[in-house]
Amino acid sequence: MSCTVRIASPLRSYADGAAQLRAHGDTLAEVLAHLEQRCPGIRFRMIDEHERIRPHMRLFVNNNEARELSAAVRDGDTVHVICALSGG
């Protein structure tokens, strides 16, 4: 499946400044694996060593927040990588 990944600004240095990229995969895990191939290092900044989404990251498939990397991704979906931080 082919999807669009919208990349939050703190991660764009890994994507040569791109705000969105095309990626492939049937699950969020597969999409992120494909993204990692194109943008080495980006995945570990979002996902910890135990496959958990980091505390200040939120991943959405279209308008639905995905809490697990097993979330399904369909052809034409948009994966949103959102950063959530408060305070100074």
Partner 1 sequence: MSSTLWIGTRKGLFALRADGARRRWKLSGPQFLGHIIHHVLQDPRAPRVVLMAAKTGHLGPTVYRSHDRGRSWREAAAPPAFRPVSTGEEARAVQRVFWLTPGHASEPGSWYAGSSPAGLFRSSDGGEHWQPVAGFNDHPMRPKWAALGTPDGEFLHSILVDPRDPRHLYIAISIGGVFESTDAGGDWAPLNEGCAADFLPDPNVPFGHDPHCVVLHPAHPERLYQQNHCGIYRLEGPGRRWQRIGRAMPKTVGDIGFPIVLHPTDPDTAWVMPMDGTSVWPRTSIGGKPAVYRTRDAGSSWRRMDRGLPRSQAWFTVLRQAMCADTHERPGVYFGTTAGEVWASLNGGERWRCLARHLPEIYSVSHAT
Q: Which residues inside 5-34 make contact with partner 1, applying CB under 8 A?
A: 8, 10-11
According to DSSP, residue 27 is labeled B
Torsion over CA: 86, 73, 48, 50 (sign) = positive
72 or 83: whose CB is closer to partner 1?
Answer: 83
31 or 53: whose CB is closer to partner 1?
Answer: 53
CB-CB neighbours of 13 under 10 Å: 13
Contact residues toward partner 1 (CB under 8 A) are 8, 10-11, 40-41, 44-50, 52, 54, 56-57, 83-85
